Amino acid sequence: MISDAVIARVAAREAERFRAANPRAFAHHAAATGWFQSVPFHWMADWPSPVPIVAAAAKDATLTSIDGQRYDDFCLGDTASLFGHSPPALAAALAKQADEGLSYMLPTERAAALSGTLAAMFGLPQWQVTTTASEANRAVIRWCRGISGRRRILTFNGAYHGAVDDAFVDLKDGDAAMRASLIGQVHDLRGTTTVIEFNDEEALAGALRGGDIACVLAEPVMTNVGMVLDAPGFLSTLRALCDETGTLLVFDETHTISSGYGGHGVVHGPKPDLLVVGKSIGGGVPCAVYGFSAAVADRMAALNRSRPAGHSGIGTTLSANALAITAMDTMLDEVITPAAYATMLRGAARLVAGLEQEIAAADLDWHVTSVGARVEFLTCPVPPRNGSEAKAAMHPGLEAAIHLFLANRGILLAPFHNMMLVSPVTGDDQIDRLVGGFADCTKALKE
Ligand code: PMP
């Protein structure tokens, strides 16, 4: 057990160290008054450092700052750059596309090839493009409601699916409650969202057998409340109950694409009716896709035939622009390959083993979880089985101190999680430095 006093002491010492090493970041933020909270996007103020690091450039799995610091990047844009920063093939394709126009609201020849690649990789025949994973999830929810005629969706307690209002319902003391942190939400989302604990087969059966759920929107393994792995048999029960009750199963594989080539559903099963992937699929270019079965496509086409012409409420003008198509086509052809996954999984195994060894050496009751190339340390002894357990196990103050300690030693972790992403271009030396920094941090926390 690490006391709050020790955590506060380490955090204060590391804040001072950060201040001394990053004068330009402080000057930058003092001058950036035109941005709300001095950042162009408010999440950027959420890093544990006194001010955010100001990025200068990033290549492969290394990021440099305007203060001349070099970071082994295990955040990788919180998955957007899971396959490395600026892969050469992507950089070249984007430069070429930049010369040929970026957004015409017309398909390009590349788009035809891309749909085939998506189908082969993820095992679903039909696809649509959006600009973000949030938007893809919103589109999918609309389609599922539209084709099923059912109003409710079901999500799991503690889930995150992006800026998707319907998914911001949690369990609080066993009852559904809107996520307290939401800004400006005026609808009672509980009227159309059912929330249960992940891995709770009984609650799932009860909810789905009511016959009023359009779709289950789920990560096959939860990754946004810390990682919560599926209990043996849970996902096949989920699939079976969806089939039994005519409920559509949506896998949001935006993070679990780390599982292996084709994502979690392809590697471990079961197969969803609809699938969403965003962030990394464009290598950092804003784009996302959703795929669906032939049966779902038929129902979508029938719905389209039955509605009057006009706004569908799905999609935005920039969706599937030429830049996005080129980015995804290049990434899937040349970067997101089975060979890349082999390297990522090997690196992740090295990281897991290193962290486990250091946790044991420091005699801490922590543990390490991984979903393919996504690795996480949790500062609790037993892997949580659901969102409530995961939330109870969180220690934001301790996590922030660890993150800042590591940042001061040139190691970058995503601010919202203890997740570490291993890309195909992450070197063993980088992994070993992370393990070494983690070991030093546990020593500092035990002093
Ligand atoms: N789905 C999942 C599982 C996510 O983790 C996230 C973002 N962390 C999103 C969707 C939304 O992605 P974006 O913010 O790029 O829209």
Task: List per-block mean pLDDT (blocks of 10 residues) for the chain, which spans 447 residues.
Answer: 94 98 98 96 96 98 98 98 98 98 95 96 98 98 98 98 98 95 96 98 98 98 97 98 99 98 98 98 98 98 97 96 98 98 98 98 96 96 96 95 98 92 98 98 93
* Whole-prediction pTM: 0.98
| Nearest Cα to Cα of residue 125 among 274, 259, 254 | 274
Choosing from 156, 219, 251, 255 the residue with most ligand 1 atoms within 8 A of its CB, the one to mutate for a pocket test is 255
Mode of pairing for the β-strands spanning 62-65 and 248-252: unpaired
Cα separation, 147 vs 312, whole angstroms: 13
Q: What's the Cα-to-Cα distance from 205 to each of 199, 217, 243, 446, rounded to whole Å?
A: 11, 15, 12, 46
Give distance in angstroms: CA of 361 to centre of ligand 1.
Answer: 35
* Assembly ipTM: 0.99
From first CA to last CA, the distance across the chain in angstroms is: 12
Cα separation, 27 vs 67, whole angstroms: 10
| Nearest Cα to Cα of residue 22 among 404, 415, 402 | 404
Cα separation, 159 vs 415, whole angstroms: 17
- Which fold, 88-335? Aspartate Aminotransferase; domain 2 (3.40.640)
Give distance in angstroms: CA of 285 to centre of ligand 1.
Answer: 14
pLDDT confidence of residue 426 = 99
Cα separation, 337 vs 325, whole angstroms: 17
309: how many CB neighbours lie within 10 A of its CB? 6
Ligand 1 cavity residues, CB under 6 Å: 132-134, 137, 160-162, 219, 224, 252, 254-255, 278-279
pLDDT confidence of residue 111 = 94
pLDDT confidence of residue 227 = 96
Burial class (CB in 10 A: 0-12, 13-18, 19+), 386: buried
pLDDT confidence of residue 4 = 95
| Nearest Cα to Cα of residue 347 among 255, 430, 281 | 430
The answer to whether 247 touches 241, Cβ cutoff 8 Å, is yes
Give distance in angstroms: CA of 65 to centre of ligand 1.
Answer: 25
Burial class (CB in 10 A: 0-12, 13-18, 19+), 44: middle
Residue 43's identity, in one-letter code, is: W
The answer to whether 303 touches 146, Cβ cutoff 8 Å, is yes
Nearest-CA residue for ligand 1 atom 12 is 133
Q: Where are the domains of the chain?
A: 4-83+338-446, 88-335
Nearest-CA residue for ligand 1 atom 14 is 162
Give distance in angstroms: CA of 164 to centre of ligand 1.
Answer: 9
Measured from the Cα of 219, ligand 1's closest atom is 3
DSSP for residue 91:
H
- Phi (first) and psi of residue 250, to 5 degrees: -110, 125
Give distance in angstroms: CA of 227 to centre of ligand 1.
Answer: 15
- Which fold, 4-83+338-446? Aspartate Aminotransferase, domain 1 (3.90.1150)
pLDDT confidence of residue 330 = 98
Choosing from 41, 42, 134, 155 the residue with most ligand 1 atoms within 8 A of its CB, the one to mutate for a pocket test is 134
Which tokens is 55 given?
A: 């990025």
Choosing from 279, 287, 419 the residue with most ligand 1 atoms within 8 A of its CB, the one to mutate for a pocket test is 279
The answer to whether 204 touches 241, Cβ cutoff 8 Å, is yes
The answer to whether 217 touches 145, Cβ cutoff 8 Å, is no
pLDDT confidence of residue 61 = 98
